[in-house]
Structure 1
Amino acid sequence: MGSPEAAGRALTRRVIGIETEYGISYRHPAGSRELAPDDIARYLFRPIVAKYSSSNIFMPNAARLYLDVGAHPEIATGECDSLIQAMNHERAGDLIVDELAQKAEQILREELPSSSTPPRKGEGRVYLFKNNIDSVGNSYGCHENYLISRETSLKKLGSRLVPFLVTRQLICGAGCIIPAQGDQPAQWSISQRADHVWEGVSSATTRSRPMINTRDEPHADSSRFRRMHVIVGDSNMSEPSFALKVGSMLLMLEMIEAGFELPEVELRDPITQIRQVSRDLSARPPLECVGEKNISALEIQQGYCAAAKRWLDYRQEEGTGTTNAQMVKVVDLWERALGALESGDLSAVDREIDWVIKWNLLKRYQEKFDCALDDPRLAQIDLTYHDIRPGRGLFLVLEARGAVERWSSDAAIAQARDLAPETTRAHLRGRFLRCAEELHAPVTVDWLRLKLNDPEPRMVELGDPLSAHSTEVEELLALMDAHAQRWATSS
């Protein structure tokens, strides 16, 4: 059942990073004026390009902001070492891109007047959606990154996690309406990403879109670390859903690394089965397994949750990181979510789990409009749930009214917008970038390296993502201070 010795071998402090891609659109209510996503993205990133001569930058809070394939703005958080820290920085990304959207609206008011007569400015709106599927079925991701030891076989680890990921959507999916296709009526799906993955574990990303990407790109000392790249998860609006998504994965990684006893499950056809699970709110139909009796998605999750609860008796904290108290909250929500599914009464988690919050919202509107699931008004509600503009996005309206639960605060999220995580190497990157910005110093930065380009190129490599201290970085900052007058004169 596990032991204190096993707990000692598990890494309970590890780097977490979240990559969020946003859907984008523009509407002008006074006429038919619309813009293609590529065009909107150019307006969105115009201030960034004007300042940095690039649409791919690192910011003073240590996050990376860039324009991804398909004209999707994307933010990758700085390295975090706890789920609450990761939550704050993931939500801070919403603030950052929404600020860009508001600036883009100001530019468009001047450059793209209304088509009405007489022209009316100031009405066009840029919309950013933290979701994973657009109106024509294209999918974009929310990727999770977890630091693991180089000694861990990523492929073997991935194969053990596939049954967990196939069924994890039950507890943290974002939910969506799947439009009618041919004779198939519109359907409800617990997950937005379930229909858009094609392999369990693979080194590809866009071509086959696996649940776990095994490409060896650690962004760290490759002799010590690997990066596990999870592609299958939905973007979350709800803080408890995010905490459960990340927290349950952290617990699974800890238990697997420690050799802790877990249910032995191998699904016969994970790609077909992840789609089956997404369509069934009962989670009860048995899934065909290899060499064992068939088992339902609910039973699979119950087995993992029960193991995680036992693991908490042995789990050892490592200074910073996700605390045992936070993990107790994660397991409590995990249990309640599964209990709600088992009983069919979702009220126990209808303020916490994204897909349940949205499902109840849609049902209320169905009753109000007396309409079927394929009604365009419901599709609009489905989409507007993910609008990140405060006062406009439906989820954020619910949050402002106190109708959903919080795990963090607006103050903590606002701080994460401006400041890097303090307990990882992101802290060093943030200090370096802030100093460079203040002094107008020419620098180059990536996940692993900090480089001062003038007067003589000097680079520091940060191979340990968990280390927030570096004598070499201190020397580099001192060198920048020594040359401050040089750049002040040239600027």
Structure 2
Amino acid sequence: MSTIAPGPRVTGLETEFGVLCAPVGTPEAVKADLPDVERAAALIFRHRPVGYRSTNLFLPNGGRLYLDIGAHPEYATAECVSVRDLVAQDQAGRAILAAMAERAATGLAQERAPVRFHLLANNTDSAGHTYGCHESYSVPRSLLDATDHPAGAGTDTTMAVLTSFLATRPVLVGSGRSLAGGPAGPSEDSRGAGDEEAAWGLSPRAPTCRP
């Protein structure tokens, strides 16, 4: 067994946000031409922090805020070495986007009835496909190539451990999403509609994957 203590772990988060523009008050008081998703996202990014001209912002805190394909905002934190810093970075991104949405709603209210922009952090699209965090693992070369270092484990051993971890993690931490009507197959149930207490899918991507 190796006695080498693990080094600091660098982590980061990237969050995708859905956008919705909804009326404030009774729907009858609002014109029918509410901004669609693309227009709503464009209005929000019109009120980006001062000093930026594009919709791809590299912020002073090391994070990145940008409008991705499909008209949805994304915020990527800076790389962090502690959970406290990571949470602070993630909350900072949400606060920046919330302030942008509030300014966009104020500007739009001057032209028509009051509206509210909703930014929804989610991991499921309108078709039911799921997506999670991007993960990268930085390891010493000796961990992958046993010939470089006597303590090296080799690629086969390392990948066996990593894949076992990735396969069992959803069960250990309860990762997943709600499914309607029991275990989901390639049907409407796989989109997670209906009673959230009907079933819980520990592998959220499996029902929507196709060969």
TM-score by length of 1: 0.33
Residues 43-442 of structure 1 mapped to structure 2, 5 A cutoff: 43-48=43-48, 51-111=51-111, 113=112, 121-122=113-114, 124-153=115-144, 156=156, 157-170=158-171, 171-173=173-175, 175-178=177-180, 181=187, 186=194, 187-190=198-201, 193-195=204-206
SS at match of 1:52: coil
SS at match of 1:12: coil
CA distance 1:151–1:110, shift in 2 (3 Å): farther
Distance 1:167 1:25 in 2: 35
Distance 2:57 2:91 in 1: 18
Q: Which residue of structure 1 lines up, in the alignment, with residue 148 of structure 2?
A: none
Q: Which residue of structure 1 lines up, in the alignment, with residue 16 of structure 2?
A: 21
Q: 2:129, 2:205 within 8 Å by CA — same for their partners in 1? A: no
Q: Sequence identity, in percent?
A: 33
Q: Which residue of structure 1 lines up, in the alignment, with residue 150 of structure 2?
A: none
Deviation at 1:7, TM superposition (A): 3.5
From the two aligned structures, give the one with the greater helix fraction.
Answer: 1
SS at match of 1:84: helix
Q: Deviations over 1:207-247 (max 9, x none)?
A: x9xxxxxxxxxxxxxxxxxxxxxxxxxxxxxxxxxxxxxxx
Q: 2:180, 2:189 within 8 Å by CA — same for their partners in 1? A: no
Q: 1:20, 1:143 within 8 Å by CA — same for their partners in 2? A: no
Q: 1:133, 1:192 within 8 Å by CA — same for their partners in 2? A: no
Deviation at 1:166, TM superposition (A): 2.8
Distance 2:8 2:208 in 1: 29
Larger radius of gyration: 1
TM-score by length of 2: 0.70
Deviation at 1:182, TM superposition (A): 5.5
SS at match of 2:47: helix
Q: Deviations over 1:337-382 (max 9, x none)?
A: xxxxxxxxxxxxxxxxxxxxxxxxxxxxxxxxxxxxxxxxxxxxxx
Residue identity in the other structure for 2:178:
C
Distance 1:76 1:183 in 2: 31
CA distance 1:135–1:183, shift in 2 (3 Å): closer
Q: 2:102, 2:117 within 8 Å by CA — same for their partners in 1? A: yes
Distance 2:49 2:207 in 1: 32
Distance 1:91 1:192 in 2: 27
Question: Which of 7, 12, 28 is equivalent to 2:7?
Answer: 12
Residue identity in the other structure for 1:60:
P
CA distance 1:7–1:183, shift in 2 (3 Å): closer
CA distance 1:131–1:183, shift in 2 (3 Å): closer
CA distance 1:128–1:13, shift in 2 (3 Å): same
